[in-house]
Chain A
Amino acid sequence: MASISFSLASSSANKSKFTPRLGQLTFRHGQSPSQTLDTPGFLATTSRGVVSHLSRDHLHNTASVQWIHVPFESFLENKPPVLTRSTGPNPAHSFLGFSTEKHLVSLSVRDPSDCAEIPPNGKDFVSARCVQGVRKVTVQDWKSYAAACKPDIIFAMSDTMISAPPYSQKRITKSIERSCAWLLDILAPVSSAPPNVFVHLAGGSSVPARQTFSRTLTEKVYGKEAELVHPLECLDDGVSGYVFDLAPMRAQIGASDPYAQGKRTGEAVIELIQASLDPLPDNKIRLANSAATPHEVLRLTAGVGIDIFDSHWAQKAANIGIGLNFTFPPPSTATAGKRQDLGLNLYNNTYTHDFSTLSGEDSPHCPCLTCSPAPASSFIAHATLDEPTFAGPDFPAPKGFSRAYIHHLLHTHEMSAHTLLVLHNLAVLDQFFTDIRRMLGGGDEQQFHRAAESFCQYYDEDLAVFQEATIMWDMVDKARGKGRLMRDKPDDV
């Protein structure tokens, strides 16, 4: 388990609560050197404990990934969950192959991006999903899993309303009460509580409910509760960070299609997040899950000072064959007409003969292993005689993989395509946050707001290119098998 501290840059402290802010998260595992993660920044999401499409060597060579979030629910198919069988000082790290020198690992019960219908939560449990169906996770279960897995950060269980709105007053009240009770349960007793507990700020789409939940956190605890969490004065004293799950929030607002209604959702969400943060102190880290676009990232950075975003959308883009290539600030101010795409749909036949890298020849150098592959740093020698094998002629330095090659891999249904795209997209996202921080560090906040505004004007937030890629991905996916070359009948020649 890492020791963690978060501090806001002096330029960002003592400002209005809802302005963009710069910060730094410092963490250290045992004797390892301490690491810093600058904010605004991002965390990588996982599926079954894996950053999708990345083998462990690739993950370790991906400098941009420092914080990895693991939804626990996929481990519920076995009892006890296999992740809890791992041992040592950092059991989750060692089981999942994350580095204690480099990676911060957080754990939540549920995948925050999953808003599919699920049986309702109960008084003492959350309904979670695994491949074998729905499982109930009680507070006691969650505490024992946390104790066994020792993640660096654990999200307290939250009674998030996932069913379709509207919600009755009674349901909202219940949600707040349960979420508070479950937070208290994980914090008590303080002596054995996990050191870094994040709380999902509850209250659904109701501004008063959100305010109520946050105020409850900061209210002094009395009586039996005070005894349980002694020496904490209030629940918030035991909390290290605040979490906003945007996916259920959008569903609760009723804007089920974030692509089509991105902008409006953004504004409504900002109002709700502000309601939650208003009663709370400023010095804790703010995390937003499932931002759908960089536009939303910019709005949430600008409007409520979110510190950490997940990279779910950029990783998902890699799944459907998108290589991101947007920049912040945008290359120029928007001109009338079509907005630019955030990335390339590499299924598109325009890339069949395109031998430039994903970042393009005239763009700034992209450090990812796709655009700038490094030669193998070592070779496994399998026989005493193998040395001359590795010397050989002078091997040319590896060149960046071309769009044509990735296009080919996508159409031949090769897994390597997604590996190359994930490596690249994470690097683009990293650069995006670096550029956000650089601009915020410049001291002219208005400049940031102007750049964010022109970004939203320049790039298409409806994600037409994502929709197009999804259709093509689906076609290739369905056309598997020996006869699948039929689909290659060139209809555009």
Chain B
Amino acid sequence: MHFEIIARCSTTRARVCKMTLAHGVTMLPTFMPVATQAAIKGLTPTQVESLGITLILNNTYHLNLRPGLDVLRQAGGAHAFQGWRRNLLTDSGGFQLVSLSKFTTITEEGALFSSPFDGSPTMLTPEESISIQHAIGADIIMQLDDVVSSLTTGPRVAEASRRSVRWLDRCITFHTSSGKQDRQNLFAIVQGGLDPDLRDECLEEMVKRKDHVAGFAIGGLSGGEEKDVFWRMISQCTAKLPDDRPRYSMGIGFAEDLLVCVALGVDMADCVFPTRTARFGVALTFEGALNLRLKKHATDLGPIDPQCPCPTCQVNTSRAFLHHTVTHETAAAHALTLHNLVFQARLMGQARTAILEDRFPAYLKTFFSGYYKNGQYPEWCVNALGSVGVDLLEGLSGEERNGRIQGGRGAGWEYASDSAADA
């Protein structure tokens, strides 16, 4: 990997970086769409590429089960198998073991789970995880970490955090001995739950191993914790992570979360949210999300967003047409997936341009005022951005400020999406 910082925001911690991997250049900050089963749902790789997307994610857990490593090896890796010519990242499979399997037991050796094929006990060790990711051949691979829900408390969190460091060492050893470092780049995952001391401890240990890892992910978040705690954890990590390594915040996909993370110094993020919500009929826009299943769109002959360069809006696909077809026709899911991926890419692309031109704070303000049309900003966003020198409510008196702040997710939604959790 070649990693170069191109520009920095003079106010926040945001930065623009150029990351060159074996399958081309990816400019950061960027959002990575998720192709769980080696396909961005409903789209072809050519379509995804034409959207200006250069980095996507495959899920190791799923690909290991299907098509399986034999097939992937025969195909010459996941790139060739799915026809994706650009950069690819795979997770370690650890998260799915916890989220999808009820019977996972974590031991020092690895994660013991019952095989979804036949229920027989199966062990996923750090070495095994890296070996699987070698077969998949992604440009960025993730260490196996000991994942606990971000709502977990007590000694288990400390145990998981410390074990993740030990597993990182095993991943480094295995990866280094494989001789694949020139094409595949190992990222560490900082754990430590929601406890600042534990986070610091984990951070410190992992940063010590900096010379053996290409980048750092911030894990253990985005699992239903308080947003106020979430941003403080991100901020704590980005403040201490080395400058010359990309930082990847796992499982982040809402527009406001992405921009706050970017302001705090995050370079990469992934989430199934934009593609999943598309299949449920929701279109993302800079003026909030539209739920196209609602009757109010049934006769609206306008596009989702006339300014949007996506293939759906460019040919004037109307909201009424989408209302007519959404949840009935796969083509409607395709249309909204194309749109939502371009929305995410625009959001991040415009952030890159704004950082480069050193007007990122103004971009944040413009975004928030457009996205929250009622003028009510989530309190955590105001606080998080305030911590890096951007006051979204600049110039307002104390009482006026209070009137513009609200708890929770805030407006900008035509319905409350209940879950943005990853696969």
Contacts and interface: CB of A to CB of B under 8 A. Distances in A.
Interface in B79-110: 80-83, 85-86, 100
Contacts of B315: 56-57, 97
Interface in A436-493: 482-483, 485-486, 488-490
B83 A398 contact: yes
A409 B39 contact: yes
A48 B27 contact: no
A50 B42 CA distance: 15
A359 to B, nearest CB: 16
A94 B47 CA distance: 22
Contacts of B352: 382-386
Contacts of A49: 321, 324-325
A87 B67 CA distance: 48
A415 B330 contact: yes
B41 interface: yes
B335 A56 contact: yes
Given A85-B320, A386-B349, A398-B83, A404 B67 contact: yes
B299 A380 contact: no
Contacts of B16: 385
Given A55-B338, A383-B350, A416-B41, A377 B50 contact: yes
Interface string A181-219: 000000000000000000000000000000000000000
A49 B85 CA distance: 33
Nearest to B311: A57
B123 interface: no
A414 B37 contact: yes
Contact of A75 (B27, B310, B324): B324
B333 interface: yes
A333 interface: no
A389 B321 contact: no
Given A55-B311, A82-B298, A399-B83, A382 B39 contact: no
B399 interface: no
A409 B348 CA distance: 30
Contact of A373 (B43, B44, B54, B66): B44
Contacts of B39: 409, 414, 416
Nearest to B320: A82
Contacts, number: 220
Given A353-B71, A416-B42, A396 B85 contact: yes
Interface string A19-63: 000000000000000000000000000011111111111100000
Contacts of A51: 331
Contact of A405 (B81, B317, B330): B81
B414 interface: no
A418 interface: yes
B52 A381 contact: yes
Contacts of A95: 301, 318, 320-321
Contacts of A490: 117
B335 to A, nearest CB: 6
A408 B49 contact: no
B208 interface: no
A52 B331 contact: yes
Nearest to B338: A55
Interface in A85-102: 85-87, 94-97
Nearest to A404: B71
B345 interface: yes
A198 B25 CA distance: 55
Contacts of B50: 376-380
B404 to A, nearest CB: 30
B116 interface: yes
B151 interface: no
Nearest to A55: B334
Contact of A383 (B25, B27, B44, B83): B27
Contacts of B41: 414-416
A389 B24 contact: yes
A428 interface: no
Contacts of B328: 47-48, 131
Contacts of B74: 353, 355, 404
B44 A420 contact: yes
A399 B46 contact: no
A392 B62 contact: no
Contact of B37 (A96, A353, A383, A412): A412
Nearest to B116: A485
Interface residues of B, number: 78
Contact of A412 (B62, B80, B325): B62
A409 B321 contact: no
Nearest to B87: A392
Interface string B1-45: 000001000000000101000111111000000000111111111
Contacts of A396: 85
A489 B299 contact: no
A407 B74 CA distance: 15
B46 A485 contact: no
A48 B329 contact: yes
Given A56-B311, A398-B45, A405-B82, A82 B324 contact: yes
Contact of A408 (B6, B66, B353, B357): B66
Contacts of A376: 46-47, 49-50
Contacts of B311: 55-57
A411 B356 CA distance: 45
A24 B299 CA distance: 38
A165 interface: no
B37 A409 contact: yes
B67 A399 contact: no
Given A353-B70, A416-B44, A389 B54 contact: yes
A120 interface: no
B49 A379 contact: yes
B229 interface: no
B27 A386 contact: yes
B67 A382 contact: no
A265 to B, nearest CB: 31
B332 A488 contact: no
A340 interface: no
A49 B332 CA distance: 11
B112 interface: no
Contact of A385 (B22, B49, B65, B356): B356
A386 B86 CA distance: 14
A489 B118 contact: yes
Contacts of A10: none
A97 B317 contact: yes
B308 to A, nearest CB: 10
Nearest to B38: A408
Given A380-B52, A412-B37, A416-B43, 6 more contacts: A58-B47, A95-B321, A382-B352, A399-B80, A407-B67, A408-B81
Interface of B: 6, 16, 18, 22-27, 37-47, 49-52, 54, 62, 65-67, 70-71, 74-75, 80-83, 85-86, 100, 116-118, 298-299, 301, 309-312, 315-318, 320-321, 323-325, 328-335, 338, 342, 345-346, 348-350, 352-353, 356-357
Interface of A: 47-58, 74-75, 78, 82, 85-87, 94-97, 131, 352-353, 355, 369, 373-386, 388-393, 395-396, 398-399, 401-402, 404-405, 407-409, 411-412, 414-416, 418-420, 482-483, 485-486, 488-490
23 contacts: A50-B331, A50-B332, A55-B47, A58-B44, A82-B324, A85-B320, A86-B301, A95-B318, A353-B74, A377-B50, A379-B51, A380-B310, A381-B349, A382-B346, A383-B350, A383-B356, A385-B18, A388-B25, A389-B54, A414-B42, A415-B41, A415-B334, A490-B117
The 7 nearest A-B residue pairs measured at CB: A382-B349, A392-B24, A376-B50, A485-B116, A380-B52, A383-B349, A415-B42
